[in-house]
Amino acid sequence: MGKSLNGKELGEGITQRADGNYVARFRHGNNNREQKVFKDLNEAKKWIVDRRFQYSHLVPDVIKKSKSSISDMTVAEWYNFWNDTYNRNLSPNTIRNYRERYTRNIDPVIGEMKVSDVRCIHCQMILNNMKNDDYAAGTVYQTYICLGVMFKSAINNDIIFKHPLDGVSVPKGLKRKSIRALTIEEQKKFLEVAEESHNKLQYRLLL
């Protein structure tokens, strides 16, 4: 484990030179070694992660889809990989909610951006746009949650080092959906439509 000039651990493959710059080293194949010098520690860490991913078969699909390296990956590319890899065991309803919120609200704002370039202001814009478009509070919160878990997974995979949702707040004054019981006439119309559904018996029981 490499250390800085003051003795702080920097991470595997990274050391700090006397001039303050950081040296990142990566070994692969038949003990081949690559190294690169950086002024910024996070950039050195990103380079190490890039090289590991490129020489690993753990996530071949995401490498093929990215433009050149993990650090160049767009939000859209990361969402697709994240959704295919981590969301398989979620409930169909949760998967659908994530997909709808990403497609309708997240992708138009940041889909083409690099994951590493997304900042809290971009996430705040997404939620503010939804308020301006008169989305219900529950739908805005679903988007907030989708952003949270998607970027948290990117952090866990060392693609980014800070959560872009930090400092973001859900807009105040969001509309709340009013809840009321169906009228008798509305129940009759609903059951008529439900006759075509394989869940028609459950619908009858609920009503």
Q: Residue 29 — very low, low, confident or very high, per pLDDT cuts 50/70/90?
A: low
Quick: pLDDT tens for 153-172. 888 877 888 899 999 999 99
CB-neighbour burial class of residue 145 (10 A; exposed 0-12, middle 13-18, buried 19+): middle
Quick: pLDDT tens for 177-205. 555 666 777 667 666 666 665 555 655 65
Per-residue confidence (pLDDT) for residue 143, from 0 to 100: 95
- Asked if residues 21 and 39 have their Cβ atoms less than 8 Å apart, the reply is yes
Quick: pLDDT tens for 39-85. 988 888 888 887 776 665 444 455 444 444 666 789 998 998 888 87
Question: What's the start-to-end Cα distance of the chain, in Å?
Answer: 64
